[in-house]
Amino acid sequence: MSENCIFCKIVSGQVKSQNVHEDDDCVAFKDLNPQAPTHLLVVPKKHIPSLAAAVSGDEALLGRLQGAIRAIAKSQKLDSYRVVTNIGRMAGQSVDHLHYHVLGGRRLGWPPG
């Protein structure tokens, strides 16, 4: 847990969130500012500032997160969806705790802005 990290506070329950999934590794909850009819954030319980900051010991966790994303998308009945993680301010990262956006429920343009 990292002090002053909003997603650590969501993981610990200090800050309320609309959770759709929780397991030993991660929590998934609705984004406060949704960009699509379904917009979830999948967040590891471990504080990792971004994918770029993950270390080799995190590889198994990263793999399990991908599995959780797949299961969550299925439970949300998404067949087409996008999984995004922003790394760094220029890419739009605003919260320095690794998170995967799961977006679906509308046609998604490409390339992203």
Q: Which residues bind ligand AMP (CB under 6 A)?
A: 6, 15, 17, 31-33, 41, 86, 92-95
Which of the residues 39, 47, 99, 101 is marked catalytic?
A: 99
Shortest approach of ligand AMP to residue 18 CB, angstroms?
8
Catalytic annotation present for 99: yes
Shortest approach of ligand AMP to residue 37 CB, angstroms?
15
**Choice between 1 and 32, CB closer to ligand AMP:** 32
Comparing C-alpha atoms, which of 86, 113, 100 is closest to residue 27?
100
Comparing C-alpha atoms, which of 51, 62, 65 is closest to residue 21?
65
Shortest approach of ligand AMP to residue 68 CB, angstroms?
17
- Encoded tokens for 107: 């046609």
Q: Dump strand ranges (E) for 1-113.
A: 19-22, 26-30, 38-44, 81-84, 100-104
So which residues are the catalytic ones?
99
